[in-house]
Amino acid sequence: MTIRFDLPSVLTIYSVTEARHALLSWLARQDLNQTKSIEISAKNVEEIDGAGLQLLGSLAQTLIDTGLSWEISQLRAPIVEACARVGLDKFLRCAVQSEISP
Amino acid sequence: MSDNTSAADQKFIDEVLPVFISEAREQIEAIEHLLLELEENSGDKELLDALFRCAHTVKGSAGIFGLDKVVAFTHHVETILDRLRDGGLTLTPSLSTLLLQCNDQILHLVDSASNDVADISENIATRDHLIAQLHAAMGDVGIDASKPIIETAAVPETPAPSSQQWLISVRFGPDCFRNGTDPLAALHYLECFGNVTVISCAHELIPKLDLIDPESCYLCFEMRFNTTALRQEIETAFSFFEDNCELRLVEPTSPIEHYISLLNAMPDRPYLGEILVEIGAISQQQLDDALRIQRHAQSAPGTPPPMIGEVLQHQVGLAAEVVAAALQKQGKRDSAVPADEQRYIRVQADRLDEVINLLGELVTAGAGAALMASQTRNRNLSEVHQHMGRLIEGVRNGTLQLRMVPIGETFNRFRRVVRDTAATLGKEVALEIVGGDAEMDKSVVEKIADPLMHLVRNGLNHGLQTPAERLAAGKPAQGNLILSARHESGGILIRIQDDGRGIDRDRVLKRAWERGLVEAGEVPADAEILKLIFAPGFSTAETITNLSGRGVGMDVVSKNIAALRGTVTVHSEFGSGTTIDIRLPLTLAIIDGFLIAVGDSKFIIPLESVIEVIAGQRAQDVLDERGRHCLELRGAVLPVVSLRRLYGLDSKPPARVSVIVLGAGATQFGIEVDTLLGQHQTVIKPLGHLFKALRGISGSSILGNGEVALIFDVNSLCELAATDLISKTSRNSPLASSLSRTASV
């Protein structure tokens, strides 16, 4: 089973605390033993700053720890550019690939 | 401004934009000044370097705020300045004019930074035209000026062959986000200077979701950066992070010879560390760290302190050859420190004004406390108050000094005016500026700029002749205009002097008769005739130009100067030239005064005008029709005015009086007073409407006991003493009745 979380439209210093809380709550509700893969959808994300990118990095660290397959999908081009600018594109490689793939 | 700014960025920009605008204006002013200087010293490498730096600073700072139009346009200017700097182009008069016009546009763009609507299509067309001219000057062809240039400015430029690869390691502090700064913006801005070829984020330092404080910053980057920029320029990308980021710049490919050649090219500097930071051999952070280590070592007893060069060699791995070359540069330095090495902090003017106002109240309150202390006859209390008084005086002097700025900054603005106006009028004019370092109160400097501008334009338009006229008059083709400033009698004297045609008194008089300013047929004294040029509506110009000739300026000039407690006088010799002297007080807020009394009335004389005091004179009963008598003072006749008579004060004169000798410019005169009350720190309060018309008085002050004292305007008093207006002033004078009142504080 693949579980999915939709990121909010704004991931900036003003919203990262709320987004972290939502992510932690969502993860706590999941039965990861029954989960095959995790999809974090970024289709709604329109605005991101350094704090938002850092939260994605933190999320990636957490997801790696689950040992499950995961991806941050449907990233828009400006967000991908921002990831590349700070050198997080490889770490979040799933996101870049998902953006390029049709 | 770019549209893709977030709300947080916008808030930050709104807060800091006024600072950018203020600093950019200074740089733009410097560009103008440097261009004009280069017209006289073309090819001066230091001036060209400074010019480039100014344009580069404006462009770089504008980039931080996303002011794309400023960045794009300044980029073209910067490109041509770079060509001038490397000798690929020569600064011709026409290119200088073009660059000055470009500078005007940069100023316009900066001024409209907060309001894009202000940039009308006419200006856009002007800039396109200027860009095309700039490219034509550089020999480029086929440039489409209408193409948005921001692409070339904002996109990282292709590294020039001389670009170097830097290793940048930056660890942002935890409070970055909370302080409103964003590392992402810094990395974006860094790309203005070159290419980030490789970047890696230390993602392992970012805690997992359950441990992270998302508002704290854990970001740390290592990158390779290709650029031709200097270390300082790279550091500017991180300047908003100041203490909240650890920045290390390593230039692996930089040869020692490169630093040594930079050292040879730079002007001499006093401090070794400063030299090394300037050439980019070390960062400011590395220097600060090394200085800390040096201080720590100094505090250890029994060990000689290490030299900063040694510390840097050990800590930073700086090559010994570079340290040796920098030491040599330091050794060459003259004992005098150049003015540009003084350090400044920027303070909002209104905050300073508030301190000055409070200080004024403190001076008044201090005087009141001192008076009460003396009335208690408690010696210790009086001594404490005397000490406090001295301290207040020290604070006063220091605070007023903060407001002092050199008049030269204002004078330098006139270089462009003289250059452009003379060109418009077909005249050749050499402008000489003397004594630009004389300082005066900032508010006085600001308020005198417009009157000065008018007088300079007037001199250019009416005073100085065309080359042909000058040659016909036996003068060199090039006219001279001298702007000078110097301290005189505790005030400042600004002089505008030209060697033009001078003022034709006959024409002035004829025009005055025509305008009814002087009764037809009446011929006043020469000095009075010259004063007529300040009468409202007076102009002898046959043609009205956009420069002058409407006769609506000189009276305003005179009024504005009078409002500053200043005076303006004209000396002119027909055929030889005109000299206009403006005398102004150094400050408008507080002065050192000399308190005197006539009957129950108190007056304050600005201390700098007091030449000497002759005490114990017998009161004179015989006065001339102007209320004056004379004294013989060291073989010279000194006119002495009775204040009692002058202002119609009702009190019985004492048997013995004192005469205070005052100086007003070159003139000396005396005033007869009853009592000398000594030196007094005087906080100047403006006169109320009732007293505005009172001649010889410039303001009032509240004394410690609540009494009001009027402050003399010595120049005006001198004029008053020399004219036949005494009886008129005395009649209907509100002074006599009002002075006896005691003000409530």
Identify which has the larger pLDDT, B236 or B454. Answer: B454
What b/e string do you get for B469-492 counting C-beta neighbours within 10 Å, with b at 16 or more?
ebeeeebeeebbbbbbbeeebbbb
Q: Is the pLDDT of residue B338 over 60?
A: no
pLDDT digits (tens, 9 = 90+) for B207-264: 999 999 999 999 988 888 888 887 777 887 887 777 778 887 776 555 566 677 667 6
Q: What is the pLDDT of residue B736?
A: 41
Q: Could you tell me which residue, B214 or B620, shows the higher pLDDT? A: B214
Q: How buried is B274 (Cβ within 10 angstroms: 0-12 exposed, 13-18 middle, 19+ buried)?
A: middle
Question: Per DSSP, what are the bridge partners of residue B348?
Answer: none
pLDDT, chain B, mean: 77
User: Rounded to whole angstroms, what are the CA distances from B509 to B464, B558, B628?
Assistant: 21, 19, 31
Number of Cβ atoms within 10 Å of the Cβ of A24: 13
- Cβ-nearest to B221 among A60, A62, A87: A87
Residue B283 has pLDDT above 50, yes or no: yes
Can you give the pLDDT at residue B331?
64
Q: What is the pLDDT of residues B31-67, one digit of tens each?
A: 888 888 888 887 788 888 888 888 877 887 777 677 7
* Apex B495 CA angle, B715 and B545, nearest 5: 110
Q: How far apart are CA B660 and CA B714, in angstroms?
A: 12
Asked if residue B2 has pLDDT above 90, the reply is no
Closest CA to A65 of B214, B202, B215, B210: B210
3-state secondary structure of B481: strand
User: Which tokens hold the place of B100?
Assistant: 């000055």
Lowest mean pLDDT among B60-64, B390-394, B615-619, B622-626: B622-626
Report DSSP state, residue B242.
G
Tokens of B77: 């200017």
Determine the average pLDDT of the residues in B318-339. Answer: 65
- On whether ipTM exceeds 0.85, the answer is yes
| pLDDT at position B160 over 50 | no
What pLDDT, on a 0 to 100 scale, did the predictor assign at position B604? 92
Whether pLDDT at B481 is above 90: yes
Confidence of residue B728 (pLDDT cuts 50, 70, 90): very low
Residue B494: per-residue pLDDT: 92
Distance CA B493, CA B566 (A): 10
Question: Which range in A1-10, B298-307, B402-411 is most confidently predicted, on average pLDDT?
Answer: A1-10
pLDDT value for B512: 84
State the Cα–Cα distance between residues B182 and B12, nearest whole angstrom: 11
Measured distance CA(B238)–CA(B233) in Å, rounded: 10
Minimum-distance CB partner of B218 among A20, A49, A54: A54
Decide: B465 and B479 in contact? Cβ < 8 Å: yes
Residue B202 phi/psi, 5° resolution?
Answer: -75, 75
Q: Would you call B652 helix, strand, or coil by DSSP?
A: coil
H-only helix segments in B41-148: 45-64, 68-85, 93-111, 121-137
Mean pLDDT of B266-276: 70
pLDDT interval class at B579 (50, 70, 90): very high
Chain A residues with CB inside 8 Å of B167's CB? none
Q: Identify which of A20, A49, A54 has the shortest CB distance to residue B206.
A: A54
How far apart CA B24 and CA B31 sit, in angstroms, is 10
B167 touches chain A (CB under 8 A): no
Distance from CA of B182 to the nearest CA of A (A): 6
A96 contact partners, CB below 8 Å, separation of at least 6: A75, A80, A83, A84, A89
Exposed, middle or buried by CB within 10 Å (0-12, 13-18, 19+), for B544? Answer: exposed
CA distance B91 to B95: 6
pLDDT at position B741, please? Answer: 36
Contacts of B200 in chain A (CB under 8 A): 87
Q: Using the predicted structure, report yes or no on whether residue B425 has a pLDDT greater than 70.
A: yes
Return all residues near B78 (Cβ < 8 A) that are at least 6 apart.
B52, B55, B56, B59
Q: Please give the order of strands across the beta sheet that includes B636-642.
A: B610-618, B656-664, B667-673, B636-642, B628-633
Tokens coding B289: 């760290």
CB contact under 8 A, B215 and A13: yes
Question: What is the structure's pLDDT at B268?
Answer: 61
Contacts of B184 in chain A (CB under 8 A): 49-50, 53, 82, 85-86
Structure-token pair, residue B656: 């013995």
Residues in chain B closer than 8 A to A82 (CB atoms): 184
SS3 label, residue B483: strand
Q: Which residues pair with B370 in a beta bridge?
A: none
Q: Which of B5, B10, B184 to mutate to test the interface with A (most CBs of A within 10 A)?
A: B184
| Average pLDDT of span A14-42 | 91
- Which residue in B74, B44, B47 sits closest to B59, CA to CA? B74
pLDDT for B740 equals 37
What is the phi/psi pair of residue B138, to 5°?
Answer: -90, -5
Confidence check: pLDDT of B267 > 70: no
Q: Give the angle subtended at the CA of A28 by the CAs of A25 and A33, to the nearest 5°.
A: 150
Q: What is the pLDDT of residue B129?
A: 84
pLDDT band for position B151 (cuts 50, 70, 90): very low
Structure tokens at B228: 């031709």
Q: Which of A6-20, B37-51, B84-98, B319-333 is most confident?
A: A6-20
- Interface size A-B, in CB pairs within 8 Å, comes to 91
Q: Which residue has the higher pLDDT, A94 or B564?
A: B564
Q: What is the pLDDT of residue B12?
A: 63
Query: Do residues B199 and B170 lie in contact, with contact meaning Cβ atoms separated by under 8 Å?
Result: no
Contact B616, B631 (CB under 8 A): no
pLDDT, mean of residues A60-76: 87
CB burial of B685-699 (b: ≥16 within 10 Å; e: otherwise) equals eebeeebeebebbbb
Q: Is the pLDDT of residue B549 over 50?
A: no
Higher pLDDT, B144 or B455: B455
pLDDT confidence tier of residue B3, bands split at 50, 70 and 90: very low
- Which chain A residues contact residue B244 at CB under 8 A? none
Pick the closest to residue B156 from B197, B217, B119, B184 (CA basis).
B197
Amino acid (1-letter code) at residue B719:
E
Residue carrying structure tokens 């794009």 = B72
Say which of A13, A27, A60 has its CB closest to residue B177: A13
Q: Spell out which residues of chain B touch residue A77, defining contact as CB-CB under 8 Å.
A: none
Q: Which residues contact A20 (CB under 8 A, 6 or more apart)?
A: A55, A58, B209, B212, B214
Rounded mean pLDDT, B404-428: 85
Q: What is the least distance, in Å, from the CA of B155 to any CA of chain A?
A: 13
More confident call, B203 vs A57: A57
| CA gap B42, B533 in Å, rounded | 40
Question: Tell me: the pLDDT tens digits for B170-196?
Answer: 889 898 888 888 898 888 888 888 888
The DSSP string of B276-338 is: HHHTTSS-HHHHHHHHHHHHHHHHSTTSPPPPHHHHHHHHH---HHHHHHHHHHHHH--SSPP
Q: Do the bridges between strand B628-633 and strand B610-618 make them parallel or antiparallel, or are there none, so unpaired? A: unpaired
Nearest to B187 among A57, A60, A85 (CB): A85
Q: How far apart are CA B341 and CA A60, in angstroms?
A: 50
pLDDT in the model for residue B438: 82
- Look at residue B626 in the predicted model and tell me its pLDDT: 65
Decide if B212 touches A, using CB distance below 8 A: yes
Burial of B516 (C-beta count, 10 Å sphere; 0-12/13-18/19+): exposed
Cα B684 to Cα B704: distance, rounded to the nearest angstrom:
14
Nearest residue of chain B to residue A78 (CA atoms): B4
Paired tokens of B556? 């305003």
Per mean pLDDT, which range of A27-41, A88-102, B540-554, B609-623 is the poorest? B540-554
Task: Show the beta-strand stretches assigned E in B408-543.
Answer: 429-434, 439-441, 479-488, 491-498
CA angle in degrees (0–180, nearest 5) for B532-B534-B539: 80
Contact between B285 and B315 under an 8 Å Cβ cutoff? The reply is no
Contact (CB, 8 A) for B456 and B425: no
The answer to whether B463 touches B417, Cβ cutoff 8 Å, is no
Regarding predicted confidence, which is higher, B265 or B534? B534
Distance CA B207, CA B631 (A): 92
Residue B503 neighbours by CB under 8 Å, 6+ apart: B530, B533, B570, B572, B574, B578
Rg, chain A, Cα only: 13
Taking the Cβ of residue B170 and every Cβ of chain A, the question of whether any pair is shorter than 8 Å is answered with no
Least confident residue range of B96-100, B232-236, B503-507, B608-612: B232-236
Instruction: Check B221 against A19: CB less than 8 A apart.
Output: no
**Are B74 and B106 a contacting pair, CB within 8 Å?**
yes
B703 touches A at CB < 8 Å: no
CA nearest neighbour of B106 among B156, B56, B143: B56
Q: How would you classify the pairing of strands B636-642 and B667-673?
A: parallel
Average pLDDT over residues B591-617: 87
| Residue of higher predicted confidence among B160 and B178 | B178
pLDDT of residue A2 exceeding 80, the answer is yes
Q: Give how far B186 is from chain A: nearest CA, Å.
A: 10
What pLDDT does B215 receive? 92
Contact (Cβ atoms closer than 8 angstroms) between residue B483 and residue B496: yes
Residues B710-724: tens digit of each pLDDT: 888 887 788 776 665
The mean pLDDT of B505-510, rounded to a whole number, is 87
Q: pLDDT band for position B22 (50/70/90)? A: confident
Average pLDDT for chain A: 84
At B614 the three-state DSSP class reads strand
Q: Any idea which of B73-82, B315-324, B682-691 has the lowest mean pLDDT?
A: B682-691
State the helix-helix crossing angle for B93-111 and B7-40, rounded to 10 degrees.
160
